[in-house]
Structure 1
Amino acid sequence: MAVRMKDVAERAGVSSATVSLALAGDPRISQATRLNVERAAREMGYRPHVGARALRTASTRTIGLVVSDVANPFFADLAGAIQRAAATSSHSLVLCNSDEDPERQDEYLLNLLDGRQVDGVIVVPTSAMTPGLHRAGAAGARLVLLDRPIEVTGRDAAARHLRDCPVVRSDPGAALAEVAEWLTALGHRRIGIIAPPLQTQVGRERRDLLVEALVGRGVAHGEISVVEGDFRQDSGATAAIGLMRRTRPPTAIFAADGLMAVGALKGLRQAGLRVPRDVSLVGFDDAPWFDLFDPPLAAVAQPVDAMATAAVDAMLALLAGRPAHGAFPACRVVRRQSCGPAPEFDPRPSPPRRRR
């Protein structure tokens, strides 16, 4: 027999009206009562009729998520964490994959919003700004920008709305400074950087933060080589091979994206180079299977669970009409054996010279 709202109300010790309001995220219901009702509904397996609820409340209790590449392990992990976070508040998730295509992103975004399939959308932008994002901003859509911010220009209603959208992304500053300290302590003075697309803010940010940290630790600016990738494995392989063919090749490479780091490792192997004996490699977007490579791949890890929770919390605040806040949890460095001393570098202090 199907569990009714009345049954949940009896279990939670509240009225049926309170159950309805609590499950709809109504701000008049206290957090303690809402959590009590959600726990009772979950324990009893209560599932509200989505169509009837939408007619009553104009809410679908569904959140859209548009990621830029579901084949990227980082975004796959992030999507899973967002789904779990949304489920704790009895929200479903509709997942769309833009495949790093701005037009496809806009198509998904507008279809979700125009058709009232979802109450709001968490989106990982494929580029700095697109017509679809501008249109969503003009319509006052409830948006949370995830991982990649957008560059908003203009003063119209769309621009004002988009500037107010909460942004949830990791803070890589301290982790990239640690990478620079690690590399220079191992004697690396020629560094290659495989950057994400530089038309994106995240691409420029990761490049600039690492360059600044390296220069601050004594690496000559002219000894830092930057090659632009496109978030894909093949671009990482091509970039790594190109860097090592230079007259003064780097002794260490930093690939500022997980798939590009995997591609770089493959490219270095194809070129007959040994990691880390011939060249060290550090990636971004750590994955659980990075330690299965030979050698295990060092990487900067993004705080996936913290980002997912913050993105869902921001969306729920928007849906409830409360102030929504962005979040910038810190990254961390996972040190593994793909990073070693620079060739011919001896970490031991030089012995004192004898006086004649």
Structure 2
Amino acid sequence: MAVRMRDVAQAAGVSIAAVSLALSGNPRIPAETRDRIRAVAEQMGYRPHAGARALRTEVTGSLGLVISDVANPFFAELAGEIQRAAAAEGFSTVLCNSDEDAGVQDEYLRNLLAGSRVDGVILVPAAAMTEGLLAAGKAKARLVFLDRPVEVRGRTAAARHLAGSPVVRSGASKALSEAAELLTGFGHRRVGIIAPPMTTRVGVERTELMIQSLTARGVATRDISVVEGDFRQDSGERAMEQLLANKSRPTAIFGADGLMTIGAMKGLRAARYRVPADISVIGFDDAPWFDLFDPPLTAVAQPITAMATAAVRAMVHLVDDAAAPLPAADATPACRLVRRASCGPAPA
């Protein structure tokens, strides 16, 4: 039986795209990896079929990565991890920043997918659904949705394709339950939530999960105040001002996004509230420098490396179009709560 490129890829522990690029001498593959793949191919007696070779030239060795906001520390770190994971698979990465603008996102999608400039796109959606996403689904583009799922409606071919695209996002349920346990254990019974846009599923889910975790521990629904932000630091500061203006102000704050939590901390400092003596704070999307705050910020950390690895592997599977080390399926690695000094007993 003839040795296939897939057999070489499995023996070398790389993707089919990496084998294709290595055998063609593409400099995107490190010389050491290229030599190893060639040695495995020679040892196995692999001989490229002319038709297969022509077909495989369609592999560009490039992936599109559309991030919603590179100024957000979480997405900046995630982009770096994806670039490293993609490079290990023999792919270069074309990074685009939609700046939380659905129209800009769609323009990047059109440009990346036009003329097969990339083999696929890993995308953090700026909106639950857009015309650009529907067009990509109609074209059966290889897509992996990261951090935020999309809302697929209807039974058109485009909708079916989008519904079948892998989604990689963190699982926050356990960490948010621990956050609620921490706050209620300190005696907090009035909690403010600074929520991401409720037009996004991540906004709805994080907010609902936190409310459920708090009410399960005895906090009355009427004592939970929710103010919606827009993933930006300024919106977190405005939300904090609004929460502090409540007749029964919260004694604890949960910021469901990293940048908005930073804005909330700025708002508290401007209003001369002490953390945690006057008000406790928990954020989402832990950053390496959150422990430099005064006091250090308690936060839910997303599994960035695991998410990046899962997203790239899902895309490699789509490019290889057959069995890969991991199937092109949804992945939800778990978040964890990082406890620091920004939470303390509720004020009397």
Q: Structure 1-normalised TM-score?
A: 0.85
Give the direction of change, closer, same or farther, for the CA distance of 1:153–1:56 in structure 2 (3 Å limit): closer
For the Cα contact (< 8 Å) 1:137–1:157, is it kept in 2?
yes
Q: Which amino acid aligns with 1:172?
A: A
Matched residues in 2 for 1:248 and 1:231: separation? 25
Q: Matched residue of 1:296: which SS?
A: coil
1:32 paired to 2:11: yes
Matched residue, 2:332: 328
Matched residues in 1 for 2:223 and 2:68: separation? 33
Matched residues in 2 for 1:44 and 1:31: separation? 17
Matched residue, 1:301: 301
Counterparts of 1:1-16 in structure 2, within 5 Å, are none
Q: Matched residue of 1:193: which SS?
A: strand
For the Cα contact (< 8 Å) 1:54–1:60, is it kept in 2?
no
Matched residue, 1:347: none
Q: Structure 2-normalised TM-score?
A: 0.87
Q: CA deviation at 1:31?
A: 1.8
1:76 paired to 2:76: yes
Give the direction of change, closer, same or farther, for the CA distance of 1:35–1:133 in structure 2 (3 Å limit): closer
Counterparts of 1:165-244 in structure 2, within 5 Å, are 165-244=165-244
Q: CA deviation at 1:57?
A: 1.6
1:30-83, Cα deviation, whole Å (9 max, x unpaired): 423244987996354859xxxxx9986211010000000000000000000000
Matched residues in 2 for 1:259 and 1:33: separation? 42
Give the direction of change, closer, same or farther, for the CA distance of 1:115–1:73 in structure 2 (3 Å limit): same
Matched residue, 2:30: 42
Q: CA deviation at 1:115?
A: 3.0
Matched residue, 1:147: 147
Q: Which amino acid aligns with 1:238?
A: R
1:207-229, Cα deviation, whole Å (9 max, x unpaired): 00000010000000000000000
Q: CA deviation at 1:27?
A: 2.8
Matched residue, 2:292: 292
Q: Percent same amino acid at aligned positions?
A: 62
Matched residue, 1:100: 100
Q: Matched residue of 2:8: which SS?
A: coil
Q: Matched residue of 1:265: which SS?
A: helix
Q: Matched residue of 1:145: which SS?
A: strand
Matched residue, 1:337: 341
Q: Matched residue of 1:278: which SS?
A: coil
Matched residues in 1 for 2:178 and 2:54: separation? 49
Give the direction of change, closer, same or farther, for the CA distance of 1:216–1:28 in structure 2 (3 Å limit): same
Matched residues in 1 for 2:60 and 2:9: separation? 21
1:224-263, Cα deviation, whole Å (9 max, x unpaired): 0000000000000010111011100000000000000000
1:173-208, Cα deviation, whole Å (9 max, x unpaired): 000000000000000000000000001000000000
Q: CA deviation at 1:114?
A: 1.2
Matched residues in 1 for 2:148 and 2:74: separation? 13
Matched residues in 1 for 2:263 and 2:279: separation? 15
Matched residues in 1 for 2:291 and 2:297: separation? 6
Matched residue, 2:39: none
Matched residues in 2 for 1:110 and 1:297: separation? 40
Matched residue, 1:10: none
For the Cα contact (< 8 Å) 1:243–1:249, is it kept in 2?
yes
Q: Structure 1 stretches (4+) deviating beyond 2 angstroms?
A: 26-30, 32-47, 53-56
Matched residues in 2 for 1:169 and 1:54: separation? 36
Matched residues in 1 for 2:54 and 2:74: separation? 33
Q: Which moved more, 1:35-44 or 1:215-224?
A: 35-44
Q: Which amino acid aligns with 1:327?
A: A
Q: Matched residue of 2:225: which SS?
A: strand
Q: Matched residue of 2:289: which SS?
A: helix
Q: Which amino acid aligns with 1:325?
A: A
Give the direction of change, closer, same or farther, for the CA distance of 1:141–1:179 in structure 2 (3 Å limit): same
1:131-152, Cα deviation, whole Å (9 max, x unpaired): 0000000110000000000110
Give the direction of change, closer, same or farther, for the CA distance of 1:336–1:35 in structure 2 (3 Å limit): same
Q: Which amino acid aligns with 1:80?
A: G
Q: Which amino acid aligns with 1:302?
A: Q
Q: Which amino acid aligns with 1:212?
A: Q
Matched residues in 2 for 1:287 and 1:54: separation? 46
Q: CA RMSD in A?
A: 2.2
Matched residues in 2 for 1:187 and 1:54: separation? 67
Matched residues in 2 for 1:312 and 1:45: separation? 18
Q: CA deviation at 1:166?
A: 0.4
Q: Which amino acid aligns with 1:127?
A: A
